[in-house]
């Protein structure tokens, strides 16, 4: 069975290199033997970064992709929404769910959710022109229900 992935924005970095494509909201990069997923959120001019390192995945359950995932998309979105509300505070009412993706971190044989929200009042022409959407929130949720804490950059 072919596993299909819905991946919003992924790119594979080179060993030891930093991904500098500012038009992407998430990246997979390799640093030595430690793979990580990096996600950036932009809220009211502040940048928040969430990273998943291989060491974060030790307690995350394995999933072969053939049955239902250990954590449902509904639960992942609920957990992500709580975290997004903390970041956006009162302005979260302006945000809408944009996507829920499941990312496969092949070297660790684990999956994680990437839940994306965007500010509905944001000028969409900025996305079309290649500018970063300054009010988007990207939350990473592991299959064990752990939400990766976004840290201000």
Alpha-carbon span 83 to 79, nearest angstrom: 7
How many distinct structural domains can be found in the chain?
1
> Is residue 49 domain-resident?
yes
Alpha-carbon span 72 to 130, nearest angstrom: 33
Q: Which residues constitute the domain of residue 78?
A: 26-152
Query: Above pLDDT 90, what percent of the chain?
Result: 35
Q: How confident is the model at residue 30 (pLDDT cuts 50, 70, 90)?
A: low
By the 8 A CB rule, do 116 and 8 touch?
yes
User: Is the pLDDT reported for residue 24 higher than 50?
Assistant: no
Task: Give the highest mean pLDDT range of 39-53, 107-121, 135-149.
Answer: 135-149
Alpha-carbon span 95 to 135, nearest angstrom: 9
> Is residue 71 domain-resident?
yes
By the 8 A CB rule, do 50 and 148 touch?
yes
Give the pLDDT of residue 116: 94
DSSP letters, 14-46, are PTTPPP--TT-SEEEEEETTEEEEEEEEEETTE
Give the pLDDT of residue 35: 53
Going from the C-alpha of 63 to that of each of 14, 107, 111, 133, 144, the distances in angstroms are 27, 13, 7, 32, 11
- Give me the chain's average pLDDT, please: 76
What token pair was written down for 138?
């990207």
Please list, in sequence order, all residues whose beta carbon lies within 8 angstroms of the beta carbon of residue 127, skipping any fewer than 6 positions away.
133
- Residue reference for tokens 């949720």: 141
What number is the average pLDDT over the span 28-52? 74
Give the pLDDT of residue 17: 30
Q: How confident is the model at residue 33 (pLDDT cuts 50, 70, 90)?
A: low
> Is residue 40 domain-resident?
yes
> Is residue 102 domain-resident?
yes
Q: How confident is the model at residue 76 (pLDDT cuts 50, 70, 90)?
A: very high
What number is the average pLDDT over the span 108-130? 79
Q: Specify the pTM.
A: 0.74
3-state secondary structure of 83: helix
By the 8 A CB rule, do 23 and 38 touch?
no
By the 8 A CB rule, do 141 and 57 touch?
no
The residue with greater pLDDT, 92 or 122, is 92
> Is residue 148 domain-resident?
yes
The residue with greater pLDDT, 33 or 107, is 107
> Is residue 62 domain-resident?
yes
User: Is the pLDDT reported for residue 87 higher than 70?
Assistant: yes
> Is residue 7 domain-resident?
no
Count the Cβ atoms, other than its own, within 10 Å of residue 98: 16
């Amino acid at each position: 069975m072919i596993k299909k992935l819905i991946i919003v924005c992924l790119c594979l970095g080179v060993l030891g290199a930093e991904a500098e494509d500012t038009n992407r909201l998430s990246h997979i990069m390799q640093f030595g033997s430690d793979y990580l997923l990096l996600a950036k959120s932009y809220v009211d001019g502040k940048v928040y970064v969430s990273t998943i390192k291989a060491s974060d995945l030790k307690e995350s359950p394995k999933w072969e992709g053939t049955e239902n995932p250990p954590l449902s998309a509904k639960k992942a979105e609920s957990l992500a929404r709580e975290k997004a509300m903390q970041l956006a505070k009162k302005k979260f009412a302006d945000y809408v769910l944009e996507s829920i993706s499941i990312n496969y971190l092949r070297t660790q044989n684990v999956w994680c959710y990437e839940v994306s929200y965007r500010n509905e009042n944001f000028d969409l022409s900025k996305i079309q022109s290649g500018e970063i959407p300054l009010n988007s929130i990207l939350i990473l949720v592991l299959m064990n229900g752990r939400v990766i804490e976004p840290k201000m950059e």
